[in-house]
Amino acid sequence: MSILSLRDVVKQYHNHTAVDHISFDVPKGSIFGLLGPNGAGKTSLIRIITTITMADSGEVILDGEHLNFDHPSQIGYMPEERGLYKKMKVGEQLIYLARLKGMSGKMAKQKLKNWLEKFDILDWWDKKVEELSKGMQQKIQFIATIVHEPKLLILDEPFSGLDPINTNLIKDEIDELNKNGTSIILSTHRMEQVEEICENIVLLNNGKKVLEGNVSQIKENNKQNLYRIGFKGKLNAAQKLDNFKVISDSDEELIIKIQKGHNPNDLLRELLNSGVEINSYNEILPSLNEIFIKQVGESDE
């Protein structure tokens, strides 16, 4: 089942098509990557999902219902450009934002204080936002986004400006929310974080969908039959390999491409016959960043 389904969604601004017939599904209970370079259409799409703007055509379905103006209370959205009021006190602002999502003042205060205590920042309740560091403001924005327990959480560059300790803190909370049933859309340029966190992705470029699917399967589909071999021995193993393309050759490591008509067992046999002692033998899968660059480059051509 899907928490969110988009069907042939289009959004135009004057003569520019920001979202060009986009369709994809976000599986319920998943962490889903919404990816693309600047100007790809990610922000326009998020604005449609959160009902900030409306699609010109197409369908958006949230948890089995066509998107309507009651749905924002079921969605949490943390934009890349943070929206805290710098002159307001932390507690007042958090209660205000929670009540906009339909929470009572009493319930909001109770839950917010629990969250601030969990993040060890309860002492900042009566401080003004402008007195907080960027990282501290990030924590406050995160709490404001999730306090009403949304069924769909949209995070745009949630780790921006955070040090490694606080990055791990937010990652742990994202993981915990997901384990408790929250579906999450993560939009970021940090591909290593997408590989670590996301199960499925969609990649946009110039308003169009250029790639979609499970992260592991996408990497498998884009592999180039490259293998990294660690070895010991005085022989130059590259000179002994007649049927394989050596991409790089160092004293103790080879990177080899298996050509069409051969398989990993053929390579292993030839390596063993080359007179070297093999101590590691691993297939090289492309990183999501490499796939991102390749797919975006091809879609620009």
CA-CA distance, 156 to 186, in Å (whole number)? 6
> Using one digit for the tens of pLDDT, what is the confidence trace for 109-147?
999 999 999 998 999 999 999 998 888 888 999 999 999
Q: What strands lie across the sheet with 65-66, from one edge to the other?
A: 16-27, 2-13, 57-62, 65-66
Segment 48-69 shows an average pLDDT of 95
2-220: in CATH 3.40.50.970: no
pLDDT for the residue numbered 262: 84
CA-CA distance, 156 to 44, in Å (whole number)? 12
Tell me which residue of 72, 222, 92 sits closest to 152, measured CA to CA: 72
Q: pTM for this one? A: 0.87
Report the relative pairing of strands 200-205 and 75-78 from DSSP bridges: unpaired
- The residue extents of the domains of the chain are 2-220, 224-284
CA-CA distance, 61 to 25, in Å (whole number)? 9
pLDDT for the residue numbered 236: 53
Q: What DSSP character marks residue 56?
A: S
pLDDT at 235 over 70: no
CA-CA distance, 10 to 56, in Å (whole number)? 6
**Which residues make beta-bridge pairs with 255?**
228, 248
pLDDT for the residue numbered 239: 54
Q: Which residue has the tokens 């949304």?
A: 150
Quick check: 228 and 280 in contact, CB under 8 A? yes
Choose between 157 and 6: higher pLDDT: 6
Of 40-49, 66-75, 100-109, 249-258, the poorest mean pLDDT is in: 249-258
Assigned CATH class of 224-284: alpha beta
Q: Which residue has the tokens 């979609």?
A: 212
**Ranges assigned E (strand) in 85-189:** 152-156, 183-187
pLDDT for the residue numbered 161: 78
**Ranges assigned E (strand) in 36-182:** 57-62, 65-66, 75-78, 152-156
Tell me the CA distances in angstroms from 64 to 94, 97, 219, 221, 276, one per residue in order: 30, 27, 31, 31, 60
